[in-house]
Amino acid sequence: MVAKAKLNLLLSRRADSPIGYAVTEPQGHLDLKADELFALAEKSRPEIKRAQIDIKGREAERALMKKEYFPDYRLGLEYRSFRWGTDMTMFTIGFDLPIWRGKYSSGVRESEKMIESGRAGLEMARQQTSYDVQDASFKLTTARRTLDLYRTALIPQAEARLQASMAGYRTGKVSFLELLESERVLLNARIMSIMAEGNIGMELARLERAVGTDLVPGNR
């Protein structure tokens, strides 16, 4: 009951809402290759996108600091009307000289250091992403192979053993305990197969987290 209430809480439903059985075949087979997963992660991983945005911001700051080296010009136009006498139109021009060049130089150097730091952070995010994608992809493949092993080998073998034990039990060649053991082996194989299905779902979720986007067709 507690687990049911927690699941409903995650689904934003009442604690006593019914929960059906999972019948969807786990999505373990992906058409994407390793290089395609890396390319997708480069565009989708939040850590990489955040680092890239940070670098662009620092580069914009550096460009603004460099503009401080140039004089600022001011142009003005003023019109005055007199009640007695001739009206006047005046043009004004002024400029500010960048006298404190040392302050601007230090600002540019600081921006460049921050850009270098941002690039190092971007490279670290890419390396971490590469590791996460490779690790999750390998574990998903292993989980898929484990499920295939149970379905194609272990469960059929356990079923064949049970059938042989039942036939032997009818003829008196196999004891009742041996028959129970064969049933136990088949039950364990089926339980492990179901657990392998759940493991595929978890590993797929880990891979999607590593890539930064959905990988199941129809969700992207």
pLDDT digits (tens, 9 = 90+) for 73-123: 666 667 666 666 666 676 666 655 555 555 556 767 787 888 888 888 899
* Residue, of 170 and 22, whose pLDDT is higher: 170
Round to whole Å and give the CA distance between 73 and 106. Answer: 23
Domain boundaries, the chain: 34-211
Domain 34-211 has CATH 3.20.20.70: no
Q: Using alpha carbons, select from 127, 133, 118 the residue that is nearest to residue 51.
A: 118
What are 35-47's pLDDT values in tens digits? 888 888 888 888 8
**Two tokens, residue 124:** 């670290």
| C-alpha to C-alpha distance for 182 and 185, rounded to whole angstroms | 5
Mean pLDDT score, 180-194: 93
> Under a CB-based contact definition with an 8 Å cutoff, are residues 144 and 207 in contact?
no
**Average predicted confidence (pLDDT) for the chain:** 80
Cα–Cα–Cα angle for 12, 13, 17, rounded to 5 degrees: 155
**Residue 169 pLDDT > 70:** yes
Say if residue 143's pLDDT is above 80: yes
- How crowded is residue 123: how many other Cβ atoms within 10 Å of its Cβ? 11
Which of 189, 188, 168 has its CA nearest to residue 177?
Answer: 168
| Closest-CA residue to 211 (of 131, 147, 141) | 131
Contacts of 190 by beta carbon, 8 Å cutoff, 6+ apart: 155
Residue 117 vs residues 41, 51, 55, 70, 127: alpha-carbon distances, Å: 22, 10, 9, 27, 15
pLDDT at 160: 95
Minimum mean pLDDT among 21-25, 34-38, 180-184: which range? 21-25
pLDDT band at 33 (very low <50, low <70, confident <90, very high): confident
Neighbours of 120 (CB within 10 A): 11
- How far apart CA 133 and CA 127 sit, in angstroms, is 10
CA 132 to chain centre: 9
Q: Is 88 helix (H, G, I), strand (E, B) or coil?
A: strand
Tokens of 95: 């400029």
75 strand-pairing partners: 93
Cα–Cα distance, 118 to 122 (Å, whole number): 6
